[in-house]
Amino acid sequence: MNAFARPEWRLVVALAIGLVIGAERERHQGGGRSGTAGIRTFALVSLLGGVTALVGGNASLLLGGGFVALAALVSYAISSQRDRGLTTEVALLLTYFLGYLAESTPTLALPVGLVTAFILAFRVRLHRIVRNVLTEREMLDALVFGVCAIVILPLLPNRAVGPFAILNPFTLWRLVVVVMGITGGGYVAQRLLGGRFGLALAGLASGFVSSVATINAMGARAKADPAEVRPAVAGATGSTVATFVQLTILLGAASPRLLRHVAIPLACGGGSALFYAAIQTWRAARVQREPVPPGRAFDLRSAVVFATLVSVIMLVSTLIVRWLGQSGALIAATVAGFADAHATASSMASLYAVQQLEERAATLGVALAVTSNSVTKIVIALSSGPRPYAWRVVLGVAIVLACTWAGFLIVLWPA
């Protein structure tokens, strides 16, 4: 039996919401000064909302809401000389409607009430973050991400269109959102933890954009300052961890079924990359203590370019498959992987999802893309940094690639 089936329990939820929000407001106001709403007022207002819902009727809802709104305005008029904010008054009116909502949907009203209390309790820290920590560029990035994920994505058609009916606008834009989320998540982690882990954390965050570019940048830094070789190695190896994390997320977005099939090789490669990066980070922990300056959480243009690259690879792979068969897709995956393993693997997963590739061919395509991309990493490491940097990075890439192929052999061997 549902615990909230009986009305008295739903009234208890309404009361709990009022008590939680009221307790926070009373602490903020220093014990409920005269003329201000405290824990008793909020509890009663929430109960009023619950009882109004039990009575039923729009007239009762409007009458109760009007009374609470009038009381909130009176409270604001009394306290306006001390506090020009409307926070308490708005919270009081919201509490009434949450109490009303608790009668019909208590499982929704209670979490919203707790979130309301959380926002009120952390007001100082939230103000500090917005005013002193969050930059204008970061705020704009957050808004852009919200528009892309919440506004644009649901409006796109979730069906195959275009040449050969293999391009799904919803899936491709979801890849854009995923890339933005991954890059933004790495950036947030880097900003929150600061420079404690130095270049290792910077490399991990940058690896979500491009591991190859990160290895090249770290090599150039190590060449410019030999004292930073170990921190640069930690950053370069950390970018390889990001490669496998991103591969896992992107494959899951394009084809969850293929992701389940390649989970073992990704776990082997990602686990070995994480272990090797942890060793290099531990060795470099006391060498680098550089603060992390504010920047961009992500680059929308890069994310769109990535999705475009996925589309192009899908079209080219489809043409090659029609010309040479399944082996043609493997050739395309190998060649494209030299530039970007993520886009290539996503293309293989997308082709598999629309039944243009068999499971074995798609799995082997992902393996070849990771392999050719690893070759690129090795070449870049040898050409960009000094010898101590290069051989450590090359060793790490070789270990990770060997472990990854061990996983792929486990998956492919029975077939």
Say what the pLDDT of residue 275 is.
Answer: 94
Say what the pLDDT of residue 1 is.
Answer: 45
Report d(CA 176, CA 250) in Å as an integer: 10
Contacts of 309 (CB under 8 A, 6+ apart): 340, 343
Say what the pLDDT of residue 272 is.
Answer: 93
- Angle among Cα 349, 354, 358 to the nearest 5 degrees reads 65
Contact 281, 200 (CB under 8 A): yes
Say what the pLDDT of residue 393 is.
Answer: 92
Neighbours of 245 (CB within 10 A): 20
Report d(CA 68, CA 45) in Å as an integer: 7
> How many residues comprise the chain?
415
Q: Calculate the alpha carbon distances from 169 to 159, 173, 259, 315, 396 in Å.
A: 7, 6, 21, 14, 37
pLDDT along the chain (415 residues), means of 10: 65 86 76 61 83 77 76 67 64 83 83 84 68 68 82 80 68 71 60 58 72 76 77 85 86 83 89 91 65 58 64 63 63 68 74 76 83 84 86 93 90 67
Say what the pLDDT of residue 74 is.
Answer: 72
